[in-house]
């Protein structure tokens, strides 16, 4: 009998919300459809150019929905709002709150991830400081964010093979281009438009990404 690999042992999906949500309840239905498509490790609440009240309102609906399905929720940019809204952690970039401040606010039991663009040095510094994961990108062109820096698969493979700290790949990833990233041994693929704007719908995108991750994740060394 052949079975799918345990998702914990292979590359997993890290969903990122669209940058604006005009109708949170409608998006909650879309999110539920996405989560019905297959395994999702976490959801990042990434709302841009909106006030704190809008983020809090979105979190009130989306955080319990995701957590009820064992999907961890990370707040983008804002450790204070992560704490206030019951998120499981925060993702900070190089221009956001520094890692140490995020960790101080969130404590040791919540997740703190750090953007490292295409930089080994930034990633080593974040890993040594205690980040729960480092994120490299952008791997492909994206219209979700102005992301001029390109990361490549050699960097991702090097980190995944040599380092213990988990690595996330981000930027323009879709079911059509994810395979080479999965083959590097990356721990997570972070995807926004590649799920929400997938022509067959978000559930189908999540299902296809999971099928690729089942098939193309390299064998992991036993811990």
Ligand X SMILES: Cc1nc(C(=O)O)sc1CCOP(=O)(O)O
Ligand Y SMILES: Cc1ncc(COP(=O)(O)OP(=O)(O)O)c(N)n1
Does 45 help bind ligand Y (rule: CB under 6 A)? Answer: no
> Residues comprising the binding site for Mg(2+)?
77, 96
Among ligand X, Mg ion, ligand Y, none, the one that 168 touches (CB under a kind-dependent 5 to 8 A) is: ligand Y
Determine, following the binding rule CB under 5 A, whether residue 96 of this chain makes contact with Mg ion: yes
Q: Please, what's the b/e burial string for 148-159 (b: 16 or more CB within 10 A of its CB; e: otherwise)?
A: eebbebebbbbb
Six-digit token string for 128: 């040594």
Q: Can you give the three-state secondary structure of 65-109, one letter per residue?
A: HHHCCCCEEEEECCHHHHHHCCCCEEEECCCCCCHHHHHHHHCCC
Among 39, 77, 88, 187, binds Mg ion (CB under 5 A): 77
85 binds ligand Y (CB under 6 A): no
170 binds ligand Y (CB under 6 A): yes
Annotated binding site: 44-48, 76-77, 96, 115, 142-145, 172
Residues of the shown chain interacting with ligand X in the complex, contacts defined by CB under 6 A:
16, 115, 137-138, 142, 144-145, 147, 170-173, 191-194
Show Cβ contacts of residue 59 under 8 Å, excluding neighbours closer than 6 positions.
Answer: 45, 73, 75, 81, 85, 86, 87
Question: Residue 66 or 209: which CB sits closer to ligand X?
Answer: 209
Query: Site residues (CB under 5 A) for Mg ion?
Result: 77, 93, 96
């Amino acid at each position: 009998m052949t079975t799918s690999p345990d998702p914990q042992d292979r590359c997993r999906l890290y969903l990122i919300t669209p940058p604006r949500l005009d109708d949170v309840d409608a998006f909650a239905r879309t999110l539920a459809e996405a989560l019905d498509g297959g395994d999702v490790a976490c959801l990042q609440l990434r709302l841009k150019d909106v006030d704190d009240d809008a983020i809090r309102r979105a979190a009130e609906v989306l955080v319990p929905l995701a957590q009820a399905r064992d999907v961890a929720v990370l707040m983008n940019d804002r450790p204070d709002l992560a704490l206030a809204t019951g998120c499981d952690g925060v993702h900070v970039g190089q221009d956001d709150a520094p890692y140490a401040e995020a960790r101080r606010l969130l404590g040791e039991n919540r997740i703190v991830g750090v953007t490292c663009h295409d930089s080994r040095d930034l990633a080593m510094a974040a890993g040594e400081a205690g980040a729960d994961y480092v994120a490299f990108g952008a791997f492909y062109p994206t219209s979700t964010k102005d992301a001029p820096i390109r990361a490549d698969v050699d960097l991702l493979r090097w980190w995944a093979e040599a380092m213990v700290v988990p690595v996330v790949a981000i930027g323009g990833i879709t079911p059509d281009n994810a395979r080479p990233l999965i083959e590097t041994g990356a721990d997570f693929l972070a995807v926004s438009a590649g799920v929400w704007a997938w022509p067959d719908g978000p559930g189908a995108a999540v299902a296809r990404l999971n099928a690729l991750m089942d098939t193309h994740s390299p064998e992991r060394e036993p811990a």
